[in-house]
Structure 1
């Protein structure tokens, strides 16, 4: 990878940010705490994790880990995308993020995180096909969704067609080939094992994972949390893939991708969609029907949700379901209740946590998603204020916090969570990404 380039501003134009911050203050009835927290995070969050490289690409650290995750970097830039049409210099930084992601996908579409340079990975001893630029090779279907979605969003927001270039086409081709192959995991050569670790950090059956049957969905080894799937058809991941395949169709119809790639995307999208609706739904004891979090195609289904995106709760953000779809609303009702084993209610907060963090730790990411997918504007404002109340005195969002005591938290600095807070604040202020 090329050396770091000398660059100008990384972040939002200060004049634009001041104007948007004034809009935020007005939307929250003059609440200076919300406006100040938003402005500070928008100023610092991207600049603190971003390096512009000599080849014009942008490397984005996940925060307190010195590596770039495809998923995290896609989510970290979402609030900046909202403002990109008004800030050409910011757009160049975001295009650089996309181009770095696309080059990583072509390098190894099974890898979830990559290195900036020759520094050693913490996971160099993992038993899988590690390459010199790979930080971690936990295959997660959503890792391939975020970059392709980012390219489509940049096109929609800015009108720039050059973002869908030969690099984008090559990454789309690599993604299609992998998703098609992993519809039948028995044909795959992907294996992953990690020794001396929690069970959620490795795959069973000599690195192949637990058995699955054909569903039409595409197999995933790990969840967006980087925890191993219990059943290897992750439904929210396949929902995101379904939506992204539709975006590839749209780009092909606009003449930005080859027609054949668009036809392949359409065919795979239809199979995944049928698989989700046929195998990815479960009837509860009370007779209600909701989406499962994971299934195996052999009759096993897992009813839960995890805090990380894509989640079942985030299905409207992924683009699979509208926020007022009855199927989504029925599922949402279960997810935001004790019927979800990772929903916690305490004296300070209630929301979705994760098996990735301690019991009764609620995630700001999940709270932000709850707000962004809500049909109730007052619920959105309530969640923003709750997020400001639960930083443990740091003024920053964390990975998770104790729902009874927010001073107990994991990851003091978690860039993705900070970005999600800002996206929700912008949403309340009337600034949103294009709906799909």
Structure 2
């Protein structure tokens, strides 16, 4: 979804907040400040580190969902971190999804019938991709907190409803039973299949959205071992995903050369090229019989150039196999066993096709993955900050981090000479994308860079760079202008906050010497490289 780019200047946000950290005089959420405004202002108490980061959590009674397990994790991690600024940023970001984006949650009996509406932050709609990523950091804590476990079950159930309602759509309105009013995205779209705007916020077909639905259940099962979410409705939603995969595995032309009947088309009245599909809403031509799945839009919600989007196909391949494993293990229904076999075979077919069509030879870096392909032999050579991405392939579980093919791809996408959206700047450097433009890189990309690296210098530089961009408001922004580093988009972006929290949890486990103890490289002083 493209919204007018909001560039905020940090210099304009240093005035004292119009709100205070005191409890509202009325013990009701109606008295709580709008976090969309609250997040643009600094609040005390401030960290004792060199950046004096503000405390950006809402006051206790203004938090939308509270988990004792999450609060305990915050205390554990912040007490370990050597840098008080990193500790404060973790304290702000780790609970941000629960604090600010759980707009509606309804418990039910059985628990897997519960519902959870998780908005992306400053937009009052739920993206399948964003909500899965926002909740990922809490999955491991679910066994310790029954209420949190039910929240996650509710999220799985609500996503299943969305997939069944409009499987080609990416962002959704509040469930009718919530009583929350739907909002308009302000666009004039012509989409087939049609959808109900009271239920759907936006209908851009993205393969990663459906993979994210599968991933939410797979993550939950991996953390809890609880298969109760695999209800008849969930299985039906999985079957719907498989139907979409089948429909979107076709090329542009039918046998004999005639244009095929496209199941999905999208046109928008816009002067922004990435906001609509060409050729009357079908997108550029694709070859037939590749086993790759088309994706009309990227995880940035920008239109693909070539609709065989490689990171999205890799993500789907992984999640199909994981779902197949769960189904085959827990379901006694022969139909579900057969569904699992079909999913496992499709996973293998996609992976084989990625290596056949999605790998090309770069003149400098050798064999690499392309970002998008058309199956005819053409490739789009770039990477985008949004996940899934080429940089994040090991985090998806598609390829090992030390695999030479990944390493050559990684070098390519982190090179401004090879990736047009790698933006080096005087203040910030990282991968951006066409969604915001060629002046802004995304902190998410630097965090993924840290999580896919074993090089201490690279990790320290990446985390330090992100910390500096978050210093003024104590939250992770969507994107940052790379030269001055003072302008950014979105002060409140829950997905980015979750990725930062993930990064800290990763470093505490994988590289504790960088963040814990008196000899930590990230220790509250100017980080030194080498």
TM-score calculated relative to the size of structure 1: 0.92
* Pairing partner for 2:96 from 10, 32, 44: 44
Larger relative contact order (CA 8 Å, sep ≥ 6)? 2
Counterparts of 2:354 and 2:186, CA distance in 1: 33
* Pairing partner for 2:124 from 63, 66, 75: 66
Partner of 1:156: 222
Partner of 1:104: 162
* Pairing partner for 1:210 from 263, 266, 284: 284
8 Å CA contact retained: 1:25, 1:34: no
8 Å CA contact retained: 1:12, 1:80: no
Of stretches 267-276 and 383-392 in structure 1, the one that deviates more from structure 2 is: 383-392
SS in 1 for 2:480: strand
Cα displacement (A) at 1:19: 4.8
Cα displacement (A) at 1:378: 5.3
Partner of 1:13: 68
Query: Are 2:300 and 1:235 aligned?
Result: no
Counterparts of 2:135 and 2:497, CA distance in 1: 10
SS in 2 for 1:406: coil
Partner of 1:222: 297
Deviations 1:116-165 (A, max 9, x none): 15434225631011213011110000000112111011111012111222
Partner of 2:242: 176
Deviations 1:320-365 (A, max 9, x none): 1111111111100111111111111112222111111131311111
- 5+ residue gaps, structure 2, are 1-61, 109-113, 175-179, 252-259, 512-530
* Pairing partner for 2:77 from 23, 47, 57: 23
Counterparts of 2:261 and 2:98, CA distance in 1: 40
8 Å CA contact retained: 1:124, 1:135: no
Counterparts of 2:237 and 2:73, CA distance in 1: 37
Cα displacement (A) at 1:407: 1.6
Deviations 1:69-96 (A, max 9, x none): 1111111111122332332222211221
Partner of 2:503: 424
Are residues 398 and 9 of structure 1, via their aligned partners in 2, closer, same or farther at CA, if it must alter by over 3 Å? closer
Counterparts of 1:427 and 1:150, CA distance in 2: 19
Query: Are 2:323 and 1:248 aligned?
Result: yes
SS in 1 for 2:266: coil
* Pairing partner for 2:189 from 114, 126, 131: 126
8 Å CA contact retained: 2:64, 2:100: no
Partner of 2:410: 332
Counterparts of 2:202 and 2:283, CA distance in 1: 17
8 Å CA contact retained: 1:76, 1:419: yes
Partner of 2:387: 309
Rg: which structure is higher? 2
TM-score calculated relative to the size of structure 2: 0.76
Output aligned runs, 1:390-409, within 5 Å: 390-391=469-470, 393-409=472-488
Deviations 1:349-403 (A, max 9, x none): 2211111113131111111111122223554344333221112611111110012
Q: How many residues align?
A: 424
- 5+ residue gaps, structure 1, are 1-6
Are residues 413 and 377 of structure 1, via their aligned partners in 2, closer, same or farther at CA, if it must alter by over 3 Å? same
